[in-house]
Amino acid sequence: MKLSIITINLNNALGLERTSQSVICQTFDDFEWIIIDGASNDNSCDIIKKYEKKVTYWISEPDTGVYNAMNKGIRQAKGDYCLFLNSGDWLYSCDSLSKAFEKIKNLDRADVYYSDCILSNNVIQKMAQKLSIDNFYLFESINHQNSFIKRSLFFDHEFYNEKNQTTSDVMFFIKEYYLYNSKFIFINTIISVYTLGGISTNYENNRKELDKEIKDIIGDLEFEKLVDRYTVKKIEKKESLLEKTIKLIIKIIKYIMPYGLYKLYLLIKNIFQEKE
């Protein structure tokens, strides 16, 4: 099962260097590596040439946006599955691909394999092992840096929508799941690290684009139900955060209080608890 790693880049030589280092060190070698550069005017092309022996195909020319560049990469790819590892993102370790494919060989054949993700701030982003439309709407589903997508899906169904600025990768997954009944399988490993700060982390733009697209797919009534569930979850999350904040404040008070005041605090607390 051959993999196509597709890296798109625009004026991010530093990020491209980090991505490249993570690719060339892999112990797994059954992959091709495609780099699509959007006519960068920094030294990105120098970085590509530095690793040219490891690169299967690369080009540097103007494009109309991130999804136009990703689609170019798909059309050049020859692998059974695609992994979109854009400049700035990096494979988690030198054996990330080996570990992932070792697990995949013991699983059923899927259209999309996906894993948990580590963000560049060292936060682990857990992915739902059983997907639903709610997961996608809440941005809790999967990301392209940590998923192997069967290349034929793009040709059989559709490529990334180049009109959208930030959410076409999420919408691709939603359509594959909701419209085309594609098979998604979770693999218990980490594939890559996702760098925060790009256009895909612009929450307001993401929400506007996603709302419009999902509404068109599932209809007004189902969309209203989805929003209601989202609102309830958001309120629960706020309440949970408030509870954690209160507990933290109490711990700080306990720590800084003189012993006498702490005893008074316990007395008052017990009185209120008895009243309840």
Domain ranges within the chain, ordered by starting residue: 3-218, 226-275
- Supply the pLDDT for residue 205: 66
3-state secondary structure of 88: coil
Is the pLDDT reported for residue 238 higher than 90?
A: no
Give the angle 71-200-239 at the CA atoms, nearest 5°. 145
pLDDT in the model for residue 34: 98
Average the pLDDT over 247-267 and give the result.
62
- Answer whether residue 199 shows pLDDT above 60: no
Q: Is the pLDDT of residue 239 over 60?
A: no
Q: For residue 211, name the pLDDT band (cuts at 50, 70, 90).
A: confident
The superfamily CATH assigns to domain 3-218 is Spore Coat Polysaccharide Biosynthesis Protein SpsA; Chain A (3.90.550.10)
Which has more pLDDT, 210 or 5? Answer: 5
Calpha distance 227→229 (Å, rounded): 5
Whole-number average pLDDT of the chain: 86
Q: Using alpha carbons only, give the angle 15, 20, 26 rounded to the nearest 5 degrees.
A: 135
Share of the chain above pLDDT 70, in %: 79
Q: What is the pTM of this model?
A: 0.80
Residue 236 has what pLDDT?
60
Per-residue confidence band for 225, with pLDDT thresholds at 50, 70 and 90: confident
H/E element, 257: none
Nearest-angstrom CA–CA distance, 157 and 136: 19
